[in-house]
Amino acid sequence: MILFSAGLFATPLKAGEDGSSGSVLYYEISPSLVANLAKGGKYIRCDVQLMTKDEDFLEQMRLHGPAIRHELLLLLSEQDGKVIKTSQGKEQLRKQALESVSRVMKKIAGSDSVQALYFTTYYVK
């Protein structure tokens, strides 16, 4: 069983110049993602931000936010709480989540300009 709030909000945040061409843009998945775990714990609650340097792609992420959220919730609900409580498990989950978001954006939007995925809040019980 997956628990989540019905609302979906996305806030682009400009971070300024990062030394390369273009501004860094963040897409915040809001509200928090909450999912029951497959084993090794009860649930995970996390906040996720996606980074891009492409304003047009930021609009695509905003448009396809429900699909991104769905993909991440499915991924989270498959996890073992004992594994994702460790630093290595958290990093592995971050990489899997980035791959999942990239895959869904390629499928739906036809392109992928997600540069990174960050957990800004992360709690496993």
- Beta-bridged to residue 35, according to DSSP, are 44
In whole angstroms, give the CA distance from residue 58 to residue 105.
Answer: 11
Going from the C-alpha of 21 to that of each of 5, 52, 76, the distances in angstroms are 37, 12, 34
pTM of the model: 0.83
Residue range 89-105, pLDDT digits in tens = 999 999 999 999 999 99
Residue range 42-72, pLDDT digits in tens = 999 999 999 999 999 999 999 999 999 999 9
Q: pLDDT at position 21, please?
A: 55
Closest by CA position to 84, among listed 17, 49, 35: 35
Over range 20-37, report the average pLDDT: 91
Q: pLDDT at position 121, please?
A: 98
